[in-house]
Structure 1
Amino acid sequence: MGGKVIISVVSLILVVGVVIGAVAVVRNGHNENSSSSSSGTSMKSVTTFCDPTPFKDVCAKSVASVANNASATPKDYLIAALQATVEEVKKGLEVAEKTKIDDKNDAYHHTAVEDCKELLGYAVDELQAALTSVGDSQLHTLNDRVDELLNWLSAVYTYQASCIDEFENPEYKSAFQNGLLNATQLTNNAVDIVAGLSDLLKSFNIPVQLPQARKLLEAGSEMGHDGFPTWFQAADRKLLAHRPNRLVPNAVVAKDGSGKFRTITDALRAYPPKFAGRYIIYVKAGVYEENVIVDKKQTNVYIYGDGAGRTIVTGHKNYGIMHVQTSNTATFAALGDGFIARGMTFRNTAGPEGHQAVALRLQSDMSAVFDCSIEGFQDTLYYQVHRQFYRNCVISGTIDFIFGKGSAVIQNSLIIVRRGLPSQFNTVTADGKELQNDRTGVVLQNCRIVAGRDLGPVRFQVPTFLGRPWKQFAKTVIMQSELGDLIRPEGYRKWDGASYENTCEYLEFANRGPAANLALRNKTFKKSRGMTARDAGMYTVNAFIQGAAWLRRTGVPFVGGL
């Protein structure tokens, strides 16, 4: 590996032992007892708050600033824990900023460092959003924010883990692992605390009310006569009521010069600073050979074409031949929240020889993809972080071709398994859930999984599985779907070199077709099982990605339940 690395890393030493603060010992017996009583109450509060966490000493240290306040509430403790997490992520960001790798001698790791800077910057932003959400909440309504907080915190952990995973050189990887050790532990703690927030509030004798989002799902009283929530602005309601071909775009892209822009990238460059509202891009039929990134600051982008197979965005970046980081291979990547795509094809043409080669990567929260084709071989669709919805799409590939660490529901879509290299196997999914108590995973609902034309004649000779677990707590739900005869009866494949089959979850409900027989599933997957309708309800659009609260404004049709 060429080039030298200058890394200014100060190892972050974990303090073993609970730091609660100095307690003055007063000689007066009455005051001493009073002080002891206060200290005991604080100790009990810290213990209660940190009880759900895996790193209790780190948790206790993070809330030391409020531990001596006898009147401190769970909200005060949570704010302190989140603030401590922000500071530790910033320290990790400082490590990245002080790391210098020569681009000419080691382009791969130079890019990895630059990616880490971006990822950790996103982590700080989303932690700040979580802090604001908690700070703006009343104590008795704090439980209403659980879904939002877990959405942000899961992404924060993923950003940190993704930063570390980018490095192949053990020295570099170790440096960033050490620099982010406290941050990852604190984020893990925060996820577990928020996931158990209802029980935590009860332990502090604070009444817990039903979250407002769930009330909305049950009552439906906030919906107007046009099917959109009554709190939507009039302009948004008017926009979403129109079909795409009747929309008035902000930018028109055309290869033949009949639009204002010839490339999608140029249309995105025209996105106005501090733009408010929906930025609409119409891409006329044609093949657009470009790698497109919708920037994190470019929110609410709506891009539509003349239909899948007619408006095509294509690229060929890959890891296998070009040695590009997986996330950077994406032909099209959307980072800004509220992204919508409709009537487009996203394609990566690297072929099976390219190995990891992403066609579409979404980091956008509350994003929706409708009537689109997503085409590749290995790692075709990357649902990186946050809540995502796919409807009426065609997704094709070979190995792990639907993968990620976000919360994705793929509904009413066609999943096509292709033929890869000789001796290769196929896995439809590879979920990367790393924390047991976050609410990420992938759901396939009312989909069809079939063999492509190239695989069809030899489908019984190529081992094809519903999925394999990319990370320890991978969660994959397949329900109400048709499973073709290409799928092996055992269903799932182990991840080589790991024992994730002991902790991951593969859950199925009401599937049909030749491969739907649960009795023949791989018994080494300890937590995999069939579900009841009640259990399956937890993984519907409304419950799993809170779809009723945001999907209607996309104009994308969806089924909220089973």
Structure 2
Amino acid sequence: MQCLQNILALTLNSLLLYFSLSKALECQSDQGNLIKVDQSGTGDFTTIQQAIDSIPPDNVKWMHILISPGIFREKVTIPVNKPCIFLDGAGNQLTSIEWGDHKDTGESATFTSSPDNIVAKGITFKNTYNIPPNYNLKNKIEPALAARIYGDKSAFYNCSFFGLQDTLWDAEGRHLFHNCYFEGSVDFIFGRGQSIYEKCQIYLTAGKYTPEHPNGFITAQARNSSDDPTGFVFKYCAFTGIGEAYLGRAYGAYSRVIIYHSEMSESILPLGWDAWTYHGHEGNLYYAEEQCSGRGAGTSKRVPWLKKLTASQLSQFVSISYIDKEGWIAKQPKM
């Protein structure tokens, strides 16, 4: 994931996030602000990027971009000065954004969202490098992102994310992923986001596309200090797939992942977690599994440093207030 090469990028985006938060932007109603994207030419634009480009900088009104069914073969970027955008697809089985870039996590993403207040519904985000239709065992396994999300207060509903290594870079900010699908093999949900994944499907492909690397890693969370509020929370999710994987490995010295009331198949390795480069400092890592079920959910053989949370500790994470104390989700466009 080219950690050293991305330090500057993350620092810059942290500063951008800080300044955007300080403005406490409140997006106004989307009444009448409809842009239609249709490849047939019957809409306002034929590409999603054209629709985004048409929105004025520093917009404060929700802009509703209605996207027709189809495979949109383009890289899509929402720049940091264009908040308040609602990408409304026809369903994750019908509307898909696909590209096949690779190598650099800072450049390879099919979809990049940098501003605050972004909503996406019913869209598939796919990086086709190493997976169909570009599946090729001769291709080196390397970072090939489907999406990278920097901005605060971003929500994704009924979306799908396909990749192999580093599928979703949940980089910075508070995010909600509801009823979404994630597919990959190596660190395919990674970053320093403060996010809740609710009723999502997480599908491992280590045994399908990477037979030479049978053990995958699902998460790589990058929390870097004891007072860092970030972490990934999975609630009411399903972890399945082909091959075997650790639930996560530490991408930061204080990496944090909580899994609650979720189903785990036999694809989950008994140890569950890996300290990665932080062996000897496992006490700083914050991994917990509570009230999970399934053949891979047994914790008797888990790493000895797996946390056991009290009811009070658990409630701090599984409550929506973990990411939404001020009620920003209710103020977004109605799904």
| TM-score between both structures, scaled by the size of structure 2 | 0.87
- Residue 493 (str. 1) matches residue 271 (str. 2): no
Quote how far apart the aligned CAs of 1:520 are: 1.6
Q: Over the residues paired in the alignment, what is the CA RMSD in angstroms? A: 2.6
Structure 1 residues 515, 126: CA separation in 2 closer, same or farther (over 3 Å shift)? closer
Structure 1 residues 545, 258: CA separation in 2 closer, same or farther (over 3 Å shift)? same
Q: Which amino acid aligns with 1:295?
A: P
- Residue 396 (str. 1) matches residue 194 (str. 2): no
Q: Distance in 1 between matches of 2:127 and 2:46?
A: 20
Q: Which amino acid aligns with 2:259?
A: I
Gaps of at least 5 residues in structure 1 are: 1-107, 134-147, 149-231, 240-246, 320-324, 558-562
Residue among 208, 223, 233 paired with 1:443: 233
Gaps of at least 5 residues in structure 2 are: 132-139
Q: Look up the match of 2:137.
A: none
Q: Look up the match of 2:64.
A: 280
Deviations 1:474-524 (A, max 9, x none): 00100010111111121112315754534211111111111222222122x
CA contact (8 A) 1:329 1:358 kept: yes
Deviations 1:166-193 (A, max 9, x none): xxxxxxxxxxxxxxxxxxxxxxxxxxxx
- Residue 342 (str. 1) matches residue 121 (str. 2): yes
CA contact (8 A) 2:250 2:278 kept: no
Q: Distance in 2 between matches of 1:477 and 1:401?
A: 16
Quote how far apart the aligned CAs of 1:428 are: 1.1
Structure 1 residues 397, 271: CA separation in 2 closer, same or farther (over 3 Å shift)? same
Mapping of residues 38-437 of structure 1, within 5 Å? 116=8, 122-128=13-19, 236=29, 250-319=34-103, 325-351=104-130, 353-418=140-205, 419-424=208-213, 425-437=215-227
Q: Distance in 1 between matches of 2:316 and 2:292?
A: 17
Bigger Rg, structure 1 or 2: 1
Structure 1 residues 381, 396: CA separation in 2 closer, same or farther (over 3 Å shift)? same
Q: Distance in 2 between matches of 1:293 and 1:250?
A: 19
CA contact (8 A) 1:249 1:282 kept: no
Q: Look up the match of 1:522.
A: 303
Residue among 254, 266, 280 paired with 1:473: 254
Count matched residues.
Answer: 320
Bigger drift between 364-373 and 503-512 goes to 503-512
Quote how far apart the aligned CAs of 1:541 are: 4.0
> Which structure ranks higher in relative contact order (CA pairs < 8 Å, sequence separation ≥ 6)?
2
Higher-helix-fraction structure:
1
Structure 1 residues 511, 551: CA separation in 2 closer, same or farther (over 3 Å shift)? same
Structure 1 residues 534, 434: CA separation in 2 closer, same or farther (over 3 Å shift)? same
CA contact (8 A) 1:304 1:343 kept: yes
Quote how far apart the aligned CAs of 1:248 are: 5.5
CA contact (8 A) 1:469 1:501 kept: no
| TM-score between both structures, scaled by the size of structure 1 | 0.53
Quote how far apart the aligned CAs of 1:121 are: 5.2
Residue among 554, 557, 561 paired with 2:332: 554
CA contact (8 A) 2:17 2:152 kept: no
Aligned partner of residue 268 in structure 1, secondary structure: helix
Q: Which amino acid aligns with 2:82?
A: Q
Higher-strand-fraction structure:
2
Deviations 1:308-356 (A, max 9, x none): 021100011111xxxxx21221100111110000000000111173421
